[in-house]
Amino acid sequence: MVFSCSPFRSSSSATFSIQNPNLSSTIDHRLIFSISFDRLPTSLNKRRMAATEVLCCASQPQNMAAPPKEAKLWGGRFEEGVTDAVERFTESISFDKALYKHDVMGSRAHASMLAKQGLISFNDRDSILEGLNQIEKRIEIGEFEWRTDREDVHMNIEAALTDLIGEPAKKLHTARSRNDQVSTDFRLWCRDAIDTIVARIKHLQIAMVNLAKKNDGVIVPGYTHLQRAQPVLLQHHLLAYVEQLDRDAGRLLDCRVRLNFCPLGACALAGTGLPIDRFMTSDALGFTAPMRNSMDAVSDRDFVLELLSANAITAMHLSRLGEEWVLWASEEFGFITPSDSVSTGSSIMPQKKNPDPMELVRGKSARVLGDLVTLLVLCKGLPLAYNRDLQEDKEPVFDSVKTIIGMLEVTSEFAQNITYNEDRIKTALPAGHLDATTLADYLVHKGIPFRTSHDIVGRAVALCVYKKCELRELSLDEFRTIDKVFDTDVYEYLGVENSIKKFRSSGSTGSECVAGQLDFWITRLNMS
């Protein structure tokens, strides 16, 4: 099929011809149509010439020869270059350029070690270091050209270094493979990511503790199976999430300890016969020590799986908090009111005020869990040592880290911009006989076995359901019709306020226990 285009700028129109040579030549099968730009709306008319030129250029035969491809740094044994499709499919520079700082960091350490070991001259080392500094600055100010034909961040930086300083750059890859190079870069990147996430977790913990401090003495219904269970102090409730977040931070810090071993010098998989000093590069990069096994060093991605697992658990915790705040902000609960600054509206319903940030926290947790599953499946069944499959480990990690940081930040914002509605909560407290278990404890104090106490209180609750009243509204005579053990002191255990006073076990929702928990977190988070 042949396309041709003839723009007529003076008349603001263009004629396009489409001819199909596969049809019978006895009939003119050209379809000619024209566009009169004068008839188009003004907004479209402004772009008529650009549109015409694009269409015309697309129709012209592409006779210009493509510029010659740059020879690959690994291309010595190849007689022909890869096809464009292969190059597009195998490149990773579109995403792994995020590792540039860590790649430069690793190269600096490697070059210094090579010079110390006599594998390159100190003059070459200085040229390499100066060149790397210039490249890093160009990247940071947006003047560095990332080239797809150079495949990845490592080759882009090394090739640019060669362009910049010449022969000394060709010595940088001595006793190094992209296999140990990328593993080193990735560990350094993940280490920094962990530090950032842990800082965001602490920020959210502080926001939750401050929210607890603002709601001293507020009692809310505690739920099991999403049914009313027992009364709890709101502070106790909020501090439960602080505990979860602390375990999340602990998992990340544990992961940091395990990932902090240096693969650099493992080369492709078997190490090298050159006299390198792996301990020097390990120390220079802040690692604990070099990895013991070179095959493990280039093929291990446990550190990434562990990071994504920790992120997934954190995301799951945030989704639980998000779900709760979404429910509690509904008219059915009405326990919290988010400020306008953390709410959104509806395009059709003028009255709506939605807690969208927490709905998205709940939703984005699926991405973080999915990133973990992606990497688990990616690594499943891979033989030793390095395989190109592992190029695909970067994007799930970058996505997981970016998403979890965003979730933590917006949850902190939400925590700082909500109000608990004490009056609405108080009106909700009587329903559900929240003091029933405390009444069972009363009977235990009277010497009644707990199972018997459970049955007695169950009958008292049944009477309340029948009478449509609370336990504390039953008369002493009514209690005595159920069991003679009841006495006037029973009323000291009834009502949510009295129930709270009776809790005394360590970690419970009793006032003194919760005050102790709050003091612990204020100290732990350096808030005092």
> Could you list the active site residues?
225, 346
Is-contact 517 461, C-beta < 8 A? no
Q: If 0-12 CB within 10 Å is exposed, 13-18 middle and 19+ buried, where does residue 232 land?
A: buried
Q: Which residue has the tokens 């395990």?
A: 258
DSSP letter for each residue of 168-198: GGGGTTTT--HHHHHHHHHHHHHHHHHHHHH
CA 323 to chain centre: 18
- Tell me the C-alpha to C-alpha distance, in Å, between residue 201 and each of 248, 316, 317, 384, 387: 8, 14, 12, 36, 34
Query: How far apart (Å, rounded) are the C-alpha atoms in residues 433 and 230?
Result: 8
Q: Tokens 């001259």 map to which residue?
A: 121
The span from the CA of 184 to the CA of 156, in Å, is: 17
Count the residues in the chain: 528
Q: Is the peptide bond before 51 cis (omega within 30 degrees of 0)?
A: no
Q: Which amino acid is at 250?
A: G
> Token pair of 253, please?
């810090």
Question: Is the alpha carbon torsion for 283, 284, 290, 291 positive or negative?
Answer: positive
Cβ-count burial 47-77 (b if 16+ within 10 Å, e if not): ebeeebeeebeeeeeeeeeeeeeeebbeeee
Q: CA 504, CA 430: separation in Å to the nearest integer?
A: 22
- Helix axis angle for 394-415 and 178-214, nearest 10°, is 10
Q: Are 217 and 231 in contact (CB under 8 A)?
A: no
Q: Find the angle CA(405)-CA(411)-CA(415) to the nearest 5 degrees.
A: 145
- Cβ atoms within 10 A of the Cβ of 424, count? 14
Neighbours of 305 (CB within 10 A): 18
> Phi and psi of 109, rounded to 5°?
-65, -40
Q: Do 521 and 241 form a contact (C-beta atoms < 8 A)?
A: no
What is the rounded CA–CA span in Å between residue 375 and residue 400?
A: 11
- Contacts of residue 172, defined as CB under 8 A and 6 or more positions apart, other chains included, come to 107, 110, 111, 114, 128, 158, 161
